[in-house]
Amino acid sequence: MDLENARNALLEKQQELLSRVERTHKHIYEKDEPVSAQFSEQVNEMANAELVHALDVEGRMELNQIQHALERIDSGDYGNCIECGKTIGEQRLEAIPFAEKCIQCAD
């Protein structure tokens, strides 16, 4: 496993997520538009706000997972399952570079 490629993939994903979290934060907390006077539009606005909030939470969770993966690279534990200690398959790490568990333990 090429740890430098893994690190680069994680850092690239981290930058992408930081940008998304910044946009969702701005959408949630820095709205310039007033609430619509029409009830049907308010319902749509609330549904959109819930979706944006869910994206914000998901992005922050992924950023945390990426940070842990980068720390595991630095400590030499990257690629080892945190539950059973076995090697996580390279295909799994290519698909999910911040995976902490092998496929068996993740099930």
Is pLDDT above 90 for 28? Answer: no
pLDDT at residue 9, as a whole number: 93
Burial bucket for residue 19 (CB in 10 Å: 0-12, 13-18, 19+): exposed
Confidence of residue 107 (pLDDT cuts 50, 70, 90): confident
- 75-94 pLDDT, tens per residue? 999 999 999 999 999 999 99
Which residues lie below 8 Å from residue 63, measured CB to CB, with a gap of 6+? Answer: 14, 17, 18, 21
pLDDT at residue 47, as a whole number: 72
Higher-confidence residue of 5 and 46: namely 5
Confidence of residue 35 (pLDDT cuts 50, 70, 90): low
Domain boundaries, the chain: 3-76
Q: Model-level pTM?
A: 0.78
